[in-house]
Amino acid sequence: SQQGEEDPQALSIQEGENATMNCSYKTSINNLQWYRQNSGRGLVHLILIRSNEREKHSGRLRVTLDTSKKSSSLLITASRAADTASYFCATEGFGNEKLTFGTGTRLTIIP
């Protein structure tokens, strides 16, 4: 069963605006990762945040993690048309490398 729920399921914004996606999970985690998937393609790792971290930045990406609320957010600033894709959060528990994926957010950037 899917552990992560993401919202919104779909998001359309104008190019240049910021996009925020949220992810909630149910059990304790070792880390949380965000991946991107272009239509019909594999996934690309974007950023990882460990359970003892609260915020992380990478280029135009900003990820937050609130372990007390079991939630994370991904912010993409100054969006570009090329950011159009599906974005998934994935959690890794303790003791194995298995990832549990969220339901995903389909992001569309309107030029």
> What are the backbone angles phi and psi of residue 94, rounded to the nearest 5°?
-100, 140
Instruction: Looking at residues 81 to 110 of the shown chain, list those that interact with another protein (rule: CB under 8 A).
Output: 88, 92, 96-104, 106
Rg over CA atoms, the chain? 13
Handedness of CA 49, 32, 5, 71 (dihedral sign): negative
CB of 101 to another protein, least distance (A): 5
Other beta carbons within 10 Å of 22: 16
The smaller minimum CB distance to another protein, of residues 99 and 109, is found at 99
Closest contact distance (angstroms) between CB of 55 and another protein is: 18
1-60: which residues touch another protein (CB under 8 A)? 2, 4, 30-31, 33, 35, 40-45, 48
Number of residues that bind another protein (CB under 8 A): 25
d(CA 23, CA 16): 23
Cβ distance to another protein smaller for residue 41 or 80? 41
Phi, psi of 53 (to 5 degrees): -105, 155
* Residues engaged in binding another protein (CB under 8 A): 2, 4, 30-31, 33, 35, 40-45, 48, 88, 92, 96-104, 106
